[in-house]
Amino acid sequence: MKKIFVVGLGPGELNQATGRALEALENSDIIVGYTVYIDLIKEHFQHKKLLSTAMKKEAERCMLAVKEAQEGQVVSMICSGDAGVYGMAGLMFEVAEAEGLLDELDIEIIPGITAACSGAAVLGAPLMHDFAVISLSDLLTPWELIEKRLEAAAFADFSICIYNPSSIKRHDYLQKACDILLKHRSPDNVAGFVQNIGREGEQGIVMDLQTLRNTKVDMFTTVFIGTSQTKNINGKMITPRGYHLSGGSNE
């Protein structure tokens, strides 16, 4: 059976990857990825054939991996974070299916630490209870659906983690998102964000939702909104694991 690993490396440096992820790279002949991620691993995997492609060429990158695997090479496709969360895992299956090669290929997904988890760790413990992960990128998703998800998550008192909160073209999207959340949440609902998770310049800031609404963040930022129960304890964002049932209704 021809083999492709789709490997999540976690955030930043290689010590944030699992042993299993590094074993997969070690057991591969070829490692394929976006240039920035290949740069990250190349020092440790110089003895492998390394292939990089530009950003936004995801389908081409998967085709490249499939083609090499067909020729008998064991291939690892690398992603930052988790391969299965806004990563390459699904597209790899879709490309293999479109090529009629699903029966010939053993595609193994190796999970990594996604930004919801690595960013949460920087801020304290914002995701201790039920949570929703929402991307504000409307490149592949209608904005109306993003709005619907934001509103549903706010209404049902989820902790919310926001990926892709901003870009040059979408500079006001976080503000628009906060305005939707503020329909169901108090302006002093605890919120926060983390920049450059796991890399130089890593910084987490805890604030309230109203302040977040009036803050500009860049594209290397992951945003967190707590539940109505989340507390700011000494600058850490802590969502209690349990609702305090003794104190009556919490909604």
- Least separation in angstroms between residue 244's CB and its own copies is 9
Binder among 120, 177, 209, 217 for its own copies (CB under 8 A): 120
- Least separation in angstroms between residue 30's CB and its own copies is 21
169 binding its own copies? (CB under 8 A): no
Our CA angle for 139, 142, 146, nearest 5°, is: 100
| CB contact set of 49 (below 8 Å; sequence gap of 6+) | 29, 30, 31, 73
Per-residue contact track with its own copies, 188 to 207, x per CB under 8 A? Answer: --------------------
- Least separation in angstroms between residue 83's CB and its own copies is 7
- Residue 42 in tokens: 């190349």
User: Is the CB of residue 65 less than 8 Å from the CB of residue 75?
Assistant: yes
- Least separation in angstroms between residue 208's CB and its own copies is 18
- Least separation in angstroms between residue 43's CB and its own copies is 15
Q: Which of 43-51, 125-133, 188-196, 210-218 is the region at the interface with its own copies (rule: CB under 8 A)?
A: 125-133
User: Is the CB of residue 86 less than 8 Å from the CB of residue 54?
Assistant: no
User: Is the CB of residue 192 less than 8 Å from the CB of residue 123?
Assistant: yes
* Total Cβ atoms within 10 A of residue 40: 19
Backbone dihedral angles phi then psi of residue 131, each to the nearest 5 degrees:
-145, 160
Q: Of residues 70-109, which lie at the interface with its own copies (CB under 8 A)?
A: 82-87, 89-94, 97, 102-103, 109
10 binding its own copies? (CB under 8 A): yes
Handedness of CA 82, 87, 93, 96 (dihedral sign): negative
19 binding its own copies? (CB under 8 A): yes
Which residue lies nearer to its own copies by CB, 31 or 153? Answer: 153
